[in-house]
Structure 1
Amino acid sequence: MTSRIYAAGLLLYGPAGRALVGGAVLVDGTTIADVGPRAEVVARAAPGTPVADFPGAALLPGLIDTHVHLSFDAGPDPVAALLAGDDRTLPFSVAGRARLLLDHGVTTVRDLGDRDGVVAALRDAIDQGLLIGPRVLSAGSPVTIPGGHCWFLGGEAKGTDGIRAVIRRNVAAGADWIKVMATGGTLTPDGPAPAEPQFTTAELTFAVQEAHSAGKRVAAHVHGAAGVEAALDAGVDTLEHCSFIAAGGTGAGPEERPDLVDRIAATGTYVCPTYSGSLDLAARSIGPERMRPWLDVALHQHERGVRLVAGTDAGIRGAGFDDYATGLEWFGRAGLPADVVLEMATSRAAEALGLGDRTGRLAAGLDADLVLVDGDPRADLSVLRSPALVVTRGRPHLPPAAAERGLG
């Protein structure tokens, strides 16, 4: 890869409020070498460095999806499809889904539910340059109780001995993160309910200590308040969903626990509400008035200082790999400012994943992960739906939709 300057009418650095009109980014190989006003970046670059000018576009860091399931197909019944599928073709399906995410501006993903190490193999193939795709972090098989949420992914564990065995197996297989199912979930209707804890606080604490001793952070799938409390007591690194579903189920609306929200904020634990196109399905099912309390869960967390990050749960029903921006738009509908939403999808997401020194911002020395969109996403988040260009670790990628537009 060679050096190239990408100049745009607007640079969005990643952190909320940091923007530059008429800026440029110098990419040298896989790395950002310089960022600043166009004229200054060009002047500092080696003579003859090619410049790609996009005066009507915005250039921002590559987007980050902190919660995906590449083994699921996002169809009506992703679990049944996985279980009935052909293991020989699953790696190709997984690679195709990762490519779709890249087509839509996502340059980093964290997969939080794999089976048989397929996602880890994809990560390695991308890192070795055998495939083009986003940077992938894999959590392997989630730790769950026997017959518990997503048991079919191979991470069933009974007691501390079972927890240790699953975590050590995942670490040996190259897991970047450890995922623990702290409560039940909707994908496993025969298991514990979403509000019901699956592990004791002592067991979760053991899981976190085991993972941290191996240098791995822990993501906790959690819905109900009791599970949130246990996960915080255990010291997990990220809370996934954190929807505060009440014991009575979704029909009763979310449980209001401002005291617990304040505790999340005080600990600095990152929360991924997993907003995606699945909310479109929910809105059509229950109507906008009944959606409002669920949107207020994330809004109130933001207002009380919780560090929210963007992630879509891509792979579950309605959460497609080609509509990352839909989740960001739902944050906007919830009432979060657009520049905050963009930060959640870039610099803050990178920090949550332990990648703040590698990606998520436009800054010299970081990996050259960039996305170029027509228009200003601070004014309209929907412009992120169809990127004009994506750069992943210095490698330019033209999304098929952008190529079609170029062909007229």
Structure 2
Amino acid sequence: MNQVLITADRVIAGPSDEVTVGGAVLVEAGRVTAVGAAADLDAAVEARVPRLRCPGATVMPGMTDCHVHLAFDAGPDPVGAVAEADAGELSAAMAERAAQLLAAGVTTVRDLGDRDALTVALRASIDSGAVAGPRILAATAPLTSYGGHCGFLGGEVGTDEDIRARIARNAAMGADLIKVMASGGALTPGGPRMWEAQFTPGQLRLIVEEGGRHGLGVAAHAHGSQTIADCVAAGVRTIEHCSWRTAEGIVHDPAVIRRMAEDDVAVCRCVSGDWRLFLDQMGPERAKAMAEVILEMREAGVRFIAGTDAGVPGARFGDYVGMLEFFASLGFTRREILDMATVNAAHALGLADTGVLAPGKRADLIVVDGDPLTDLNVLRRIRHVFTAGRRAAGSDAPTHDGWHRRGGRPRRGRGGGRRRGIILGRG
């Protein structure tokens, strides 16, 4: 049958202002087939369809982490951990990190730089059901200058022909998008400084054009203020970090910000759960300037999307909500924050089949204990996770939840204990 009716105190269908109190979601064959009042759907759906009743909970779209590095271990030496790792051991570690993200309620991730296209292989394993994990969008090797930021991942290019060849190779390996290290970064010893450009404006335009020729959008790592302007002019889809750095400090351009909003260029600030320590290290003046430019972008209508940069030093894979709390500290509303993690992220990533709960969409959803519109910490209390209709192993509910069939007793497993669930959407 591959059906289940999930009922809860509320359903946030997405965007987050669409809330059904006493709601329900009907899932069939990996898709959402109906969303509405629990009483109405309970009466309309056949009695033989299993019910997953979740009192005190909220059903909402699964969350998206728009910036992760599954090949990195979040330790102090990610370069050594990736460059020197055995491929088999690294693949196993990446699968475990993907499982951590799924357990945190993240049903889609965009991996923005790995080694040897290992995320493509992991994506295939997850899609086949061989291993559990979130949906993966893979960038494979990011384009960077020779000796540049994250060059150890294999994406170093110099000439226009190098750029064309690297993009064609990434596409052939199964990349879902192109990642370009448009500016320097802090991760790579000896590389360009964070505000220094790694590509000319003409090369950035070429990268966007070549990516488009292969049907791939471009995500640009860009810290430098001029580099951000060049990336927006080139037509990238998302700006990663977008920290507006110069040699003198944080300097932003309101005209560039307006164009970002007009051209629908989304910003992923890449904030990990240790953001308080990061702000302390920045110092009060730079932290204040950073907050002000984020709020100015928000006021101008720039679309923000949620991403943790999980895998870089200190950015743990299981602490997704810590990143959301950073935006709450700046005054973003909970509705804005939930949309960053769901519908806005799906839009920016070009995913038309997820981010909201509506008939025909993928059944990527989570059940959380409480109401995230009143307390973001609720998002740490995951009861159930579904990806394409499959219930993730280990997302069993507390004893007051359970699978029910109308008019019948709960099923029991071989050992006499109550069965807590079924796997949906197989085959």
Provide the residue aligned with 2:187 in structure 1. 187
Matches within 5 A, 1:9-158: 9-158=9-158
Alpha-carbon spacing, 1:141–1:10, altered in 2? closer, same or farther (3 Å): same
Q: CA deviation at 1:272?
A: 0.7
Provide the residue aligned with 1:269 in structure 2. 265
**In structure 2, distance between residues paired with 1:136 and 1:234:** 26
| Contact in 1 for aligned 2:364/2:386 (Cα 8 Å) | yes
- 1:142-175 Cα shifts (integer Å, max 9, x gaps): 0111111110000001121110111011000010
| Contact in 1 for aligned 2:31/2:363 (Cα 8 Å) | yes
Provide the residue aligned with 1:386 in structure 2. 381
| Contact in 2 for aligned 1:387/1:399 (Cα 8 Å) | no
Q: CA deviation at 1:76?
A: 2.0
1:153 is aligned with what amino acid? L
Alpha-carbon spacing, 1:364–1:197, altered in 2? closer, same or farther (3 Å): same
Provide the residue aligned with 1:302 in structure 2. 298
2:328 aligned with 1:332: yes
Q: CA deviation at 1:321?
A: 0.5
1:220 is aligned with what amino acid? A
Partner SS, residue 388 of structure 1: strand
| Contact in 2 for aligned 1:103/1:390 (Cα 8 Å) | yes
Q: TM (normalized to structure 1)? A: 0.94
Q: CA deviation at 1:405?
A: 11
**In structure 2, distance between residues paired with 1:204 and 1:256:** 20
**In structure 1, distance between residues paired with 2:384 and 2:107:** 12
| Contact in 2 for aligned 1:389/1:398 (Cα 8 Å) | no
Provide the residue aligned with 2:252 in structure 1. 256
1:313 is aligned, of 296, 303, 309, to: 309
| Contact in 1 for aligned 2:385/2:395 (Cα 8 Å) | no
2:320 aligned with 1:341: no
Q: CA deviation at 1:49?
A: 1.2
Alpha-carbon spacing, 1:341–1:184, altered in 2? closer, same or farther (3 Å): same
- 1:188-243 Cα shifts (integer Å, max 9, x gaps): 13111111111111111011101101111111110111111111111111111111
| Contact in 2 for aligned 1:104/1:399 (Cα 8 Å) | no
| Contact in 2 for aligned 1:275/1:331 (Cα 8 Å) | no
Partner SS, residue 362 of structure 1: coil
Of residues 237-246 and 256-265 in structure 1, the stretch that sits farther from structure 2 once superposed is 256-265
Q: CA deviation at 1:401?
A: 9.2
Provide the residue aligned with 1:216 in structure 2. 216
Q: CA deviation at 1:133?
A: 0.7
Q: CA deviation at 1:48?
A: 2.0
| Contact in 1 for aligned 2:368/2:383 (Cα 8 Å) | yes
Alpha-carbon spacing, 1:256–1:158, altered in 2? closer, same or farther (3 Å): closer
- 1:84-117 Cα shifts (integer Å, max 9, x gaps): 3222200000000000000000000010001101
- Percent identity reads 47
Provide the residue aligned with 2:412 in structure 1. none
Alpha-carbon spacing, 1:379–1:231, altered in 2? closer, same or farther (3 Å): same
| Contact in 1 for aligned 2:383/2:395 (Cα 8 Å) | no
**In structure 2, distance between residues paired with 1:187 and 1:284:** 19
**In structure 2, distance between residues paired with 1:236 and 1:124:** 27
Q: CA deviation at 1:136?
A: 0.5
Q: TM (normalized to structure 2)? A: 0.90
Matches within 5 A, 1:353-368: 353-356=349-352, 358-368=353-363
Q: CA deviation at 1:399?
A: 4.1
**In structure 2, distance between residues paired with 1:149 and 1:323:** 25
Unaligned runs of 5+ in 1: none
Of residues 306-315 and 13-22 in structure 1, the stretch that sits farther from structure 2 once superposed is 13-22
**In structure 2, distance between residues paired with 1:174 and 1:132:** 20
2:358 is aligned with what amino acid? A
Partner SS, residue 259 of structure 2: helix
**In structure 2, distance between residues paired with 1:231 and 1:135:** 27
Provide the residue aligned with 1:372 in structure 2. 367
Q: CA deviation at 1:403?
A: 7.3
Q: CA deviation at 1:386?
A: 2.9
| Contact in 1 for aligned 2:345/2:355 (Cα 8 Å) | yes
Q: CA deviation at 1:270?
A: 1.1
| Contact in 2 for aligned 1:68/1:110 (Cα 8 Å) | yes
Alpha-carbon spacing, 1:284–1:401, altered in 2? closer, same or farther (3 Å): farther
C-alpha RMSD of matched pairs (Å): 1.9
Q: CA deviation at 1:120?
A: 0.5
Which has the larger Rg? 2
Q: CA deviation at 1:382?
A: 1.4
1:283 is aligned, of 256, 262, 279, to: 279
- 1:228-286 Cα shifts (integer Å, max 9, x gaps): 111111111111111112223xxx3x213222211211111111111221413313435
1:334 is aligned with what amino acid? L
| Greater fraction of residues in helix | 1
Unaligned runs of 5+ in 2: 402-416, 418-427
